[in-house]
Structure 1
Amino acid sequence: MDEQDGLVDDALAEQLRAACRTAVGDSLRSVTYFTPTAFEQLYLRADLQSDADLAGFVEHESDGFHATTAYRGSELGDYGYTVRAFENGFLTRLTVGDSGVFVTTDGLTIRRSEEVAEAIRSVLAEPVTTD
């Protein structure tokens, strides 16, 4: 999986950053867009170092493309999104078609995880509009 600058056009990148920032506020750490073959980090909070193994995270999170279909028809219903808890923060991943986004945050409540997932879903599901 390769990092690819310019994978996401500026309008979509800005919509995703704004939607995530609105949903989780100052606890937003990063926003990364990914497809089955490439990724682009769209936001990294200024106080964080950019030397994280982003490709490793993306490779793992790209398994989410399979979850969308693997859980279809399960007794729990269709797959919605994934939240992972870590020692220093949380990761929320959502995929729509061949596009995915994961967001890292300092803190996260169930309500905020639902809000950020819905914000990402609405941006990925709608065509990008520019004024």
Structure 2
Amino acid sequence: MTTGLLTSAAAERIITTCRTAIGDSLRSVTYFTRDDYEQLYLREDLERDADLSTFIGHEWRGFKTVQTAYERSELGEYNYTIRVFDNGFLLRVTTERKGVIITTDGLTLKDFEEVATALDTVLSDVDDSA
């Protein structure tokens, strides 16, 4: 059985990875490709009113822009993006073909690093040709 873009097993693996690393601070999980997206998880106390299409478009373009801009930087290879807002945080982990955006309540930098590393591994294993 599939969820649309992913098999149910792949979607569950992404959600479990995020829930394990972040716990109750996890707000949402959205999987995306260049052409489509799917919200895999939304904490029950939150409303489904976010404009995910705009978020995904911005995050995909942002990934490509950052990747190009810092290509030969002495900072090294791009890993992930953290965005800080008044009411939470957004973490983007992206490969050339797919990515995951999660939103959270407050976390430490170490927490973000752990979940980003885990998601990078999961994305490498996930087959997005459901």
Please say whether Structure 1 and Structure 2 have the same fold, judged by a TM-score greater than 0.5: yes
The aligned length equals 124
Q: Cα–Cα, structure 1 residues 16 and 65, in superposed 2: closer, same or farther, change >3 Å?
A: farther
Quote the residue 1:67 is aligned against.
Answer: 66
Distance of 1:10 and 1:97 partners within structure 2: 22
Structure 2 length-normalised TM = 0.89
How far apart are 1:72 and its partner, in Å?
2.5
Quote the residue 1:115 is aligned against.
Answer: 114
SS in 1 for 2:84: strand
Structure 1 length-normalised TM = 0.88
Structure 1 residue 86 corresponds to structure 2 residue 85: yes
Distance of 1:78 and 1:50 partners within structure 2: 34
Which of the residues 22, 40, 46 maps onto 2:44? 46
Quote the residue 2:20 is aligned against.
Answer: 22
Q: Over the residues paired in the alignment, what is the CA RMSD in angstroms?
A: 1.4
Which of the residues 5, 8, 11 maps onto 1:10? 8
SS in 1 for 2:116: helix
Q: Cα–Cα, structure 1 residues 8 and 70, in superposed 2: closer, same or farther, change >3 Å?
A: farther
SS in 2 for 1:29: strand
What is the percentage of aligned positions where both structures have the same residue? 55
Q: Cα–Cα, structure 1 residues 82 and 60, in superposed 2: closer, same or farther, change >3 Å?
A: same
